[in-house]
Structure 1
Amino acid sequence: MEFIQVTKDNLEKEHICCAISNNMDVQVTSKKSWLSERFDEGLVFLKSEERGKCFIEYIPAEYAWNPIDAEGYMYIDCLWVAGSFKGHGYASELLNYCIEDSKQKGKKGLCILSCAKKKPFLSDPKFLKYKGFGPCDEADNGVQLWYLPFEKEAEPPKFMENARHPHIDEKGYVLFYTYQCPYNAKYVPVLENLAKEKDIKFKAVHIKSREEAQNAPTPITTYALFCDGEYVTNEQMNDKRFLKLISK
């Protein structure tokens, strides 16, 4: 498999969204805009030369849009291999590239979000364990921080206190999200319109800076839905899923 590193120079022409073929789709343009501002911070986006779900995205942890204390580590935003790409060792190839690149850049190790059992949009803990990762911190909602230290004495990363106990003092549905995930530009307005139509109290909080993300009340900032102050899910909602949720 040949891989392509997406950079500022080729960002506009490269296909970066695993599910959307139209480069002018608002979901893709919003993601590309977010990426373009991260490259100078050391973000690496490596993908298959073929279109599909086969890529890794990582960044020095101090620039991660997550409330983690992981100085000297590299944070993996996303490692995703699915569909016809599964079963060929591509996930290992992408991860190995990240490991070698991070070592050359003098990093202490890698860290990534996961959980004890596989959840949507979080890395598979079985794969991480197989590759030598282990959990080093856990929030009250079960989201875990996993790490792969390059040296045994490396201090483990941890969640910031504001993310350790996901809770907000606000009634109704509150959604925290970023444009790091390419689907939000389309589906957040869907929920806003549906909530208005059904007279449901709903507020969307668009996280627009690293500082806002690192002070968020949740380990997951790409998409985190709360209801009456309590964390509900990081699984992206369309109209049908949201209606099913509120019917409960």
Structure 2
Amino acid sequence: MEFITVNQDNIKKEHICCCISDKKGENCVSSKKAWMEERFPDGLVFLRLNARGKVFIEYIPAERAWCPITADGYMHINCFWVSGQYKGKGYANQLLELCIQDAKAKGKCGLTIIASEKKRSFLSDPDYMKYKGFLTADTAMPYFVLYYLPFSDGAPVPKFKDTARSGKTEEQGMVLYYSNQCPHTEKYAPLIGDIAKQHGTSVSLHKITTTEQAQNSPTPFPTYSFFYNGEFVTNEIFGEKKFEKFLQEHGFL
């Protein structure tokens, strides 16, 4: 089965493998596509299997990545996903190899990706990345790991920026940093804001809209990071039930 590169020429008609159906999440899909269109001039690549499944890799030169890392000369993988019936068929290996070939052709010195020590929702599988030769470059609280795959022994070691190391923010209360790098956020970020209001409280929503904001954020994962009273809580996107459970556990209900 062939792979398709989604780019400026075909993004209007191509699907982008997200979990939200076009009918139920049209605004979410369009927000992600708009984000991608703005990133294509920065070198964003979105490569997917020619199927209606979630089989894709998205990457961009690290200097323009939407995360607080220092990784000059690297290609950064934003999202790498193979799910459902497509697992175990070699598609992940093929996608990663295409990314490697492209990065080398563009003169990059390696790849970077943000994950954790163990598999977590919305982060790539670290066991797979380590199996493919990725090494730990740096860590940030409470569980983020910056992995890298150098193409030569002399490649520099990437690192997180100091702004994102502590897993803390000075702002108190419930605080959410998010961006349209993930299509889910356009629906679920405002949702928790509305739920909080219904229960007489609030969430401070910080939507990241520029590369500079993302690269200087207080979290290694500005796509979606929820804080409470200055402490990082989760990068997993809250649905209604999970957020209400959080409110209940912290005395808001």
What TM-score bracket applies, with the shorter chain setting the length?
Answer: over 0.9
Per the alignment, residue 76 of structure 1 pairs with 77
- Confirm or deny that 1:41 pairs with 2:42: yes
Q: Secondary structure at the match of 2:59?
A: strand
Paired amino acid for 2:228: C
Separation (CA, whole Å) in 1 of partners of 2:163 and 2:170: 13
How far does the alpha carbon of each residue in 1:130-164 deviate from its partner, in whole angstroms, 9 at most, with x for none? 10001110002110000000001111100000011
Q: Which residue of 2 aligns with 1:226?
A: 227
- Paired residue for 1:21? 21
Q: Distance in 2 between matches of 1:42 and 1:214?
A: 16
1:8 counterpart residue number:
8
Structure 1: 5+ residue runs without aligned partners? none
Are the aligned partners of 2:193 and 2:202 in contact in 1 as well (CA < 8 Å)? no
Q: Distance in 2 between matches of 1:36 and 1:118?
A: 30
State the partner residue of 1:161. 162
Deviation, structure 1 residue 166: 1.9
- One-letter amino acid of the counterpart of residue 146, structure 1: Y
SS of alignment partner, residue 132 of structure 1 = coil
Contact 2:69 2:159 in 1 (8 A): yes
Counterpart residue type for residue 16 of structure 2: I
Whole-angstrom distance in 1 between the partners of 2:2 and 2:15: 15
* Structure 2: runs of 5 or more not aligned: none
Asked if the contact 1:172/1:200 (under 8 Å) is kept, the reply is no
| Match of residue 246 from structure 1 | 247
1:64–1:210 CA contact under 8 A, matched in 2: yes
Q: How far 1:116 moved relative to its partner?
A: 0.9
Moved over 6 A (4+): none
Identity within the alignment, %: 51
Distance 1:21 1:13 in 2: 14
Is contact 1:18–1:51 with CA below 8 Å preserved after alignment? Answer: no
Distance in 1 between residues matched to 2:21 and 2:116, nearest whole Å: 31
